[in-house]
């Protein structure tokens, strides 16, 4: 029996820039991962409601190496498609974000299955970001991407470029043409092409990925244009209703079921109550779409606002993905729900075999590092949640730290950690960084550190309730002592710092170990539990 409703978001927590494709009865969504490794997450469903993580394709150095990539760089806006018995995945590796230049390298990789070994990447171009691949029904293939213009006085978002791709030569061929310059909303990006009824339809994201975000559509009889805008305006946006529960709607893709039903996936965010701040980052939602009599794609509800609940297609019922609430680290590899930062060589900093049943982290660089951190984390998917862990750690220097971290990026985090003052005894303290890199990343919080027993395991907990985060600790896992400060979750959001500093990821909760002496002192974690409330 089919589900009675689909509730949004369908991919909760940091899952932006969705690209969707159908292969027979199977649906796949690829989402951006930015500086988190492995790159790109692909979810699978057979009913558009119940999604399961099926693959993380960019999982080796040849495909992705982000050492040194700044925060909110790395993998932007993948495009997933299927043709000729192959999945095609396009992605951008962004090496610079701030300033007038953006170093954006666009690649293509292929595989027969989303969970297989993807081919070594083909470099396409570096002219902009958000690459997309269109398979025309005449057998030709076309690459689109936005073009970045670094010149002073010019529109940075210089339009959507189109160029033919030759599979035989594995390169772009022919002339590059700007086929769409955007609308007055600006920030034209995220292109996808479709063909229907003799028209080519171009969908783009506009207005920036903040609270003015929108999806626009234009069409042409020729793939090279000229493209005529939909006279009705944006297909979807929340920009005119600041109180709507799903904000920042934009960056969309369209899929058609085998029965001809149309759906649009797009990004949204859910803000903390009373704010326009989103610690969860940008998430993925889905909407019913219809094709109008005058030949345009519109939301089926007759409005442009994204809906919290939509009507599902007549597809088989399924089961929601089982949530990984308690992980005892008993497996030979990490659950794919975990990610780490930037490096394609996780064996340098973690092991599940050195102490079976425990995750061992070898101390690496600071929480502010853009190179090698020993930080393993999972997405925060709800604005109310609780994370708990058990750690054994024997530091012999104040530069050695390990514990539980609530992390947005290298300048936005709250960290409950064990360390030592002078090598005799252990202590527990909080480090917090609130989005001002110029001040550094170490800001002790609270009246004084907590003195701990010299040896033995320590239990750590983070409880998040909207804007508030409270850390607590225990020596037996039963009698908990809350630390004497309440931390602010608003700082751990995309928008904190103003529009000029908007960032693009989301909050993670995880385990961390730092050794600033370079001795790689390790910490052992027995388990991690993460429980969320809807």
Q: Where are the domains of the chain?
A: 6-310, 326-533
User: Per-residue pLDDT for 365 more than 90?
Assistant: yes
Q: Which of 189, 188, 179 minimizes the C-alpha distance to 222?
A: 179
- For CA atoms 311, 314, 315, 320, the dihedral sign is positive
Mean pLDDT within 483-495: 91
Average pLDDT for 474-480: 96
137 is catalytic: no
Weakest mean pLDDT among 364-373, 422-431, 519-528 = 422-431
The class (CATH top level) of 326-533 is mainly beta
pLDDT(245) > 80? yes
- Please write the tens of the pLDDT for every residue from 37-48: 999 999 999 999
Mean pLDDT confidence for 374-393: 98
Task: Give 98-119 pLDDT, tens digit per residue.
Answer: 889 999 999 999 999 999 999 9
Per-chain mean pLDDT for the chain: 94
Own/partner long-range contacts of 285-289 (Cβ < 8 Å, ≥24 apart):
285/8, 285/9, 285/10, 285/246, 285/249, 286/6, 286/8, 286/10, 286/48, 286/310, 287/236, 287/263, 288/261, 288/262, 288/263, 289/254, 289/262, 289/263, 289/264
pLDDT in tens, 441-461: 445 555 678 999 999 999 999
Q: Which pLDDT score is estimated for 453?
A: 93
pLDDT the model gives residue 349? 98
Other beta carbons less than 10 A from residue 502's beta carbon:
16
> What pLDDT is stored for residue 441 in this prediction?
47
pLDDT at 211 over 70: yes
pLDDT of residue 436: 60
Whether 506 contacts 379, CB under 8 Å? yes
Residue 231 or 443, more confident: 231
**Of 17, 71, 434, 495, which is the active-site residue?**
17
Q: For residue 55, count other CB atoms closer than 10 A to its CB.
A: 23
The CATH classification number of 6-310 equals: 2.115.10.20
Residues of the chain with pLDDT > 90: what percent? 89
Question: What is residue 314's predicted lDDT score, i.e. its pLDDT?
Answer: 86
At 519, list the tokens: 């001795």
Say what the pLDDT of residue 448 is.
72
Confidence of residue 217 (pLDDT cuts 50, 70, 90): very high
**pLDDT of 434:** 77
pLDDT for residue 440: 44
The question of whether 17 is a catalytic residue gets the answer yes
Given the residues 35, 50, 93, 189, select the one marked as catalytic: 189
In this prediction, residue 155 carries a pLDDT of 95
């Amino acid at each position: 029996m089919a589900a009675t409703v689909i509730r949004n978001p369908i991919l909760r927590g940091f899952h932006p820039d969705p690209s969707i494709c159908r292969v027979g009865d199977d649906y796949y969504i690829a989402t951006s991962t930015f500086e988190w490794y492995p790159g790109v997450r692909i979810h699978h469903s057979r009913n558009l409601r119940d999604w399961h993580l099926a693959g993380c394709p960019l999982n080796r150095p040849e495909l992705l190496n982000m050492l040194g990539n700044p925060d909110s760089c790395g993998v932007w806006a993948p495009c997933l498609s299927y043709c000729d018995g192959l999945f095609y995945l396009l992605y951008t590796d962004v090496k610079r974000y701030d300033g007038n230049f953006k170093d954006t390298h666009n690649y293509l990789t292929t595989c027969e299955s989303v969970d297989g070994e993807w081919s070594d990447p083909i470099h396409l171009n570096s002219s902009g970001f958000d690459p997309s691949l269109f398979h025309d029904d005449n057998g030709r293939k076309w690459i689109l991407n936005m073009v970045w213009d670094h010149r002073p006085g010019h529109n940075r978002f210089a339009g959507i470029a189109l160029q033919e791709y030759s599979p035989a030569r594995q390169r772009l061929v022919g002339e590059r043409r700007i086929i769409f310059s955007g609308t007055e909303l600006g920030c034209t990006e995220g292109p996808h092409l479709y063909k229907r009824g003799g028209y080519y339809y171009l969908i783009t994201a506009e207005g920036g990925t903040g609270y003015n975000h929108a999806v626009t559509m234009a069409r042409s009889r020729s793939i090279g244009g000229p493209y005529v805008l939909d006279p009705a305006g944006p297909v979807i946006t929340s920009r005119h209703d600041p109180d709507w529960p799903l904000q920042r709607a934009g960056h969309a893709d369209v899929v058609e079921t085998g029965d001809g039903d149309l759906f649009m996936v797009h990004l949204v965010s859910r803000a903390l109550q009373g704010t326009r701040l989103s610690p969860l980052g940008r998430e993925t939602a889905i909407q019913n779409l219809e094709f109008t009599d005058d030949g345009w794609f519109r939301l089926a509800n007759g409005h442009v606002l994204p809906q919290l609940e939509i009507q599902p297609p007549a597809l088989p019922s399924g089961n929601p993905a089982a949530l990984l609430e308690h992980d005892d680290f008993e497996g030979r590899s990490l659950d794919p729900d975990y990610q780490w930062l930037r490096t394609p060589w996780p064996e340098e900093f973690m092991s599940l075999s050195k102490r079976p049943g425990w995750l061992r982290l070898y101390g690496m660089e600071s929480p502010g590092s853009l190179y090698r951190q020993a930080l393993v984390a999972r997405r925060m998917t709800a604005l109310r949640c609780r994370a708990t862990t058990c750690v054994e750690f024997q530091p012999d220097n104040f530069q050695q730290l390990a514990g539980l971290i609530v992390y947005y990026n290298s300048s936005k985090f709250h960290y409950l950690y064990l360390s030592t003052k002078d090598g005799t005894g252990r202590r527990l303290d909080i480090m917090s960084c609130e989005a001002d890199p110029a001040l550094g990343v170490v800001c002790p919080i609270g009246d004084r550190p907590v003195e701990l027993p010299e040896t033995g395991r320590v239990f750590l907990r983070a409880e998040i309730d909207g804007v508030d985060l409270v850390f607590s600790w225990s020596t037996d896992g039963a009698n908990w002592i809350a630390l004497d400060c309440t931390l602010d979750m608003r700082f751990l959001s995309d928008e904190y710092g103003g529009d000029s500093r908007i960032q693009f990821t989301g909050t993670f909760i995880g385990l961390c170990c730092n050794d600033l002496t370079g001795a790689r002192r390790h910490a052992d974690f027995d388990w991690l539990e993460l429980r969320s409330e809807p």
